[in-house]
Copies of this chain bind each other. A is one copy, B any other.
Amino acid sequence: MMDSHQKNERKNIGMEGKNWSDLWLNYKAGSSDNLAVEVRDFDQNDRVIKSAVSELKKAFADSESSFKVQIIKNEEVQKEGYKVEAVIGGSDGRTKEADTELVISASDVNGALYGTFQLIRSFMMGEDLSSVSISKAPSNPLRMMNHWDNMDGSIERGYSGRSFFFVNDDIIINDRTVDYARFMASIGINGVVINNVNVKWAATDLITTRFFDKLAELSDIFADYGIKLYLSLNFASPIELGGLDNCDPLNDQVIAWWKDKVKEVYDRLPNLGGFLVKADSEGRPGPFTYGRTQADGANMLGDVIAPYGGIIIWRCFVYNCTQDWRDTKTDRARAGYDYFKDLDGQYHDNVILQIKNGPMDFQIREPISPLIGGLTRTNQMLEVQIAQEYTGHQIDLCYLIPMFKEILGFKTYCQSENDTVADVVSGRAFGNKLAGMAAVINTGNDLNWTGNDLAAANLYGFGRLAYDTELSAEEIAREWVKLTFNLEKELEDKLVGMLLTSRETYEKYTSPLGIGWMVTPGDHYGPSVDGYEYSRWGTYHRADHLGIGVDRTDKGTGYAQQYYQPNADMYNDPKTCPEELVLFFHHIPYDWKLKSGQTLIQYIYDSHFEGYEEAKELQKSWKAFEGKVPQNVYNCVSHRFEMQVANAREWCDQVNSYFYRKSAVADEKGRQIF
């Protein structure tokens, strides 16, 4: 399992052989002698090229035919892109089919590695390699995973066991680390932030000598697979590590401290990608403390890190988290735009703002953050969450790629064309070189990596989508199902279908029409309709006996006006507002008629009963997979579906009872409401 060029002292994690899942790289064990790999114009000893060759040999170990593969450097291929082609008779012109050569061309080693994984995918999916011809370049330059792993081994919003990066305030490095890097590279990820954005305690020390040795080793493993290591940073480090009495980004002492610190870090970790910073958010320190702007904070760090080629990724998740629920003027949804829009154009070139897809916080349905494309002169990237914090904790099935596709396809109207979110965050819209997508990752040290085996579809899917935003949610689902389970066509279709409808199902039985929340406070699994209604978090549904929803129009909080036209007008009017978001933007009476003819209250009842029924259908459908997927996978997923059905029932009954008790409107169909 261990690559020969990995350090020998790396410890196996102590089990007889490896016992964790190979996810979508589940090759038969072994290394192929039927495979000849030739590397041309690349350095054969390059660490990434060596990984590519090693991966090919493992992947084709199962092959009965003999293959020749060439990995060729071709400067015409775009950065990190690849061409994979079958050359009949081989590149030397011979015609014997068995000698068909498969040629991977790339201009850089990452491209070569991604082309390698493309070829492996095609092979594993049973495509006809003799006619393969695929040419790709990444949609996004930055394709990142954000771990919210804490150094004590816990994971904030982790639903797949403990961290495989940290335990007991130390860093873990073992065979699993290598597999993790392989998986990430295989889906095109080129940057990983290993620690939680809430940087506290031992994690503050990640930029000290205490951890440099292990970080260097980790960085090397990542580098073998074309991945840059990034760290989340504690903005108060000058105080906590440096003993200064402040961390004012305009203070000379603070700046001097950061310069020394960053030099020290890069001396030891020359390949470090840079830092991710959550500042002035949910209790984290930041420039606001000193009357400075977010740009002051980000630019200071950007300037300090620039000589080393590093970047600063600055999160825009800044809002008042001690709001008074009685206050209907303050609107958390406005906060990102209000805090960052005015600073557009002031951020330095190696600073990039990381913006969550919606203005709230990864709900099952939100409008697109108006900050995306609202900023036109600032590097920006999209943050999504595949950790299912609000979408079922990897118990409930919720394939998120359809949601991400909607997000990427949203027309911001920031300019007359090339104005979708995909255009903006890829850098195409405004010519930004720093651009991309990041996901809060859903992994942990569970043997199947993602708690629910089916949640790996989101892990796979995010990487594939970030690399190629043109892929459809169905294409990605099908790839993942084929690679992971290699099912007969009928079951493959069934599973793809289950994935594709799962988000709508989850949405139906949880909070309706974009209002969000209604979850158990803190934990965020299961219903609590009023759980956040009288809280300090700015997350209200404002339901009373007559209606529900938040007025975010020009007569309400004005949030709708943060969008470009015609979006602003569209959202401002309940008649043109997309129905799935109508409660996000409007306070609507229960007797309001939807386009379907249903009243709002009847829609709430109907959709919740439907969602619960669909959850039961999912559970039933899964029974067809017994004996068709590994038994442990079958059992694990069966148990999750059982829990999902119980969860869906709670949501359905609690939401319906809540609104029945409040509205006094009976269900037209006379179903049981409590």
Q: Contact residues of A with B, CB < 8 Å? A: 325-326, 527-531, 534, 543-546, 650, 653-654, 657-658, 660-664, 674
Give the contacting residue for A545; candidates B528, B530, B650, B663; CB below 8 A: B663
- A546/B664 in contact, CB under 8 A: yes
- B325/A534 in contact, CB under 8 A: no
Give the contacting residue for A326; candidates B529, B530, B653; CB below 8 A: B653
Chain B min CB distance to A533 (Å): 9
Query: A534 to B654, alpha carbons, bound, how many Å?
Result: 7
Chain B min CB distance to A547 (Å): 10
A527, A531, A660 pick with most chain B CB within 10 angstroms: A531
- A674/B529 in contact, CB under 8 A: no
Query: A534 to B657, alpha carbons, bound, how many Å?
Result: 10
Give the contacting residue for A530; candidates B530, B544, B660, B674; CB below 8 A: B530
Collect the chain B residues with CB atoms within 8 Å of residue A653's CB.
326, 534
Query: A527 to B657, alpha carbons, bound, how many Å?
Result: 20
Chain B min CB distance to A583 (Å): 16
Total copies of this chain within the assembly: 2
Nearest CB to that of A527 among chain B residues?
A: B534
Known contacts A528-B530, A534-B528, A534-B650; decide if A545 and B326 are in contact (CB<8 Å): no
- A325/B545 in contact, CB under 8 A: no
Chain B min CB distance to A4 (Å): 46
User: With contacts A326-B653, A534-B657 known, what are 5 further pairs, Cβ within 8 A?
Assistant: A326-B674, A529-B530, A530-B530, A531-B531, A544-B664
Known contacts A325-B674, A326-B674, A674-B325; decide if A661 and B545 are in contact (CB<8 Å): yes
Query: A546 to B653, alpha carbons, bound, how many Å?
Result: 19
Q: Name 8 interchain pairs, CB-CB below 8 A, sorted by A.
A: A325-B674, A326-B674, A527-B534, A529-B530, A543-B661, A544-B661, A544-B662, A545-B664
Query: A654 to B533, alpha carbons, bound, how many Å?
Result: 9
Nearest CB to that of A529 among chain B residues?
A: B530
Collect the chain B residues with CB atoms within 8 Å of residue A546's CB.
664
- A662/B545 in contact, CB under 8 A: yes
Nearest CB to that of A325 among chain B residues?
A: B674
Collect the chain B residues with CB atoms within 8 Å of residue A527's CB.
534
Nearest CB to that of A664 among chain B residues?
A: B545
Collect the chain B residues with CB atoms within 8 Å of residue A325's CB.
674
Collect the chain B residues with CB atoms within 8 Å of residue A654's CB.
534
Chain B min CB distance to A185 (Å): 43
Collect the chain B residues with CB atoms within 8 Å of residue A326's CB.
653, 674
Nearest CB to that of A522 among chain B residues?
A: B522
**Ranked 4 nearest A-B pairs via Cβ:** A544-B661, A545-B664, A534-B654, A530-B530
- B664/A661 in contact, CB under 8 A: no
Collect the chain B residues with CB atoms within 8 Å of residue A531's CB.
528, 531
Query: A546 to B663, alpha carbons, bound, how many Å?
Result: 10
Nearest CB to that of A548 among chain B residues?
A: B661
Collect the chain B residues with CB atoms within 8 Å of residue A530's CB.
528-530, 658
Collect the chain B residues with CB atoms within 8 Å of residue A545's CB.
545, 661-664
Collect the chain B residues with CB atoms within 8 Å of residue A534's CB.
527-528, 650, 653-654, 657-658
Query: A544 to B534, alpha carbons, bound, how many Å?
Result: 18
Query: A674 to B328, alpha carbons, bound, how many Å?
Result: 10
Chain B min CB distance to A543 (Å): 7
Chain B min CB distance to A500 (Å): 31
Chain B min CB distance to A598 (Å): 21
Query: A546 to B545, alpha carbons, bound, how many Å?
Result: 11
Query: A650 to B653, alpha carbons, bound, how many Å?
Result: 28
Chain B min CB distance to A655 (Å): 10
Collect the chain B residues with CB atoms within 8 Å of residue A543's CB.
661
Nearest CB to that of A653 among chain B residues?
A: B326
Collect the chain B residues with CB atoms within 8 Å of residue A658's CB.
530, 534
Query: A324 to B546, alpha carbons, bound, how many Å?
Result: 28
Chain B min CB distance to A529 (Å): 7
Chain B min CB distance to A432 (Å): 44
Collect the chain B residues with CB atoms within 8 Å of residue A664's CB.
544-546
Chain B min CB distance to A628 (Å): 35
Chain B min CB distance to A645 (Å): 15
Chain B min CB distance to A77 (Å): 57
Query: A529 to B543, alpha carbons, bound, how many Å?
Result: 14
A530, A534, A545 pick with most chain B CB within 10 angstroms: A534
Query: A663 to B544, alpha carbons, bound, how many Å?
Result: 9
Chain B min CB distance to A509 (Å): 14
Chain B min CB distance to A361 (Å): 20
Query: A316 to B281, alpha carbons, bound, how many Å?
Result: 47
Collect the chain B residues with CB atoms within 8 Å of residue A657's CB.
534
Collect the chain B residues with CB atoms within 8 Å of residue A663's CB.
545
Chain B min CB distance to A357 (Å): 30
Query: A546 to B661, alpha carbons, bound, how many Å?
Result: 8
Collect the chain B residues with CB atoms within 8 Å of residue A662's CB.
544-545, 661-662
Query: A527 to B531, alpha carbons, bound, how many Å?
Result: 11
Nearest CB to that of A674 among chain B residues?
A: B326
Chain B min CB distance to A666 (Å): 11
Chain B min CB distance to A535 (Å): 9
Query: A661 to B325, alpha carbons, bound, how many Å?
Result: 14
Query: A339 to B380, alpha carbons, bound, how many Å?
Result: 64
Chain B min CB distance to A538 (Å): 15
A530, A658, A663 pick with most chain B CB within 10 angstroms: A530
Query: A145 to B275, alpha carbons, bound, how many Å?
Result: 54
Chain B min CB distance to A433 (Å): 49
Chain B min CB distance to A545 (Å): 4
Nearest CB to that of A530 among chain B residues?
A: B530
Query: A534 to B674, alpha carbons, bound, how many Å?
Result: 10
Chain B min CB distance to A320 (Å): 18
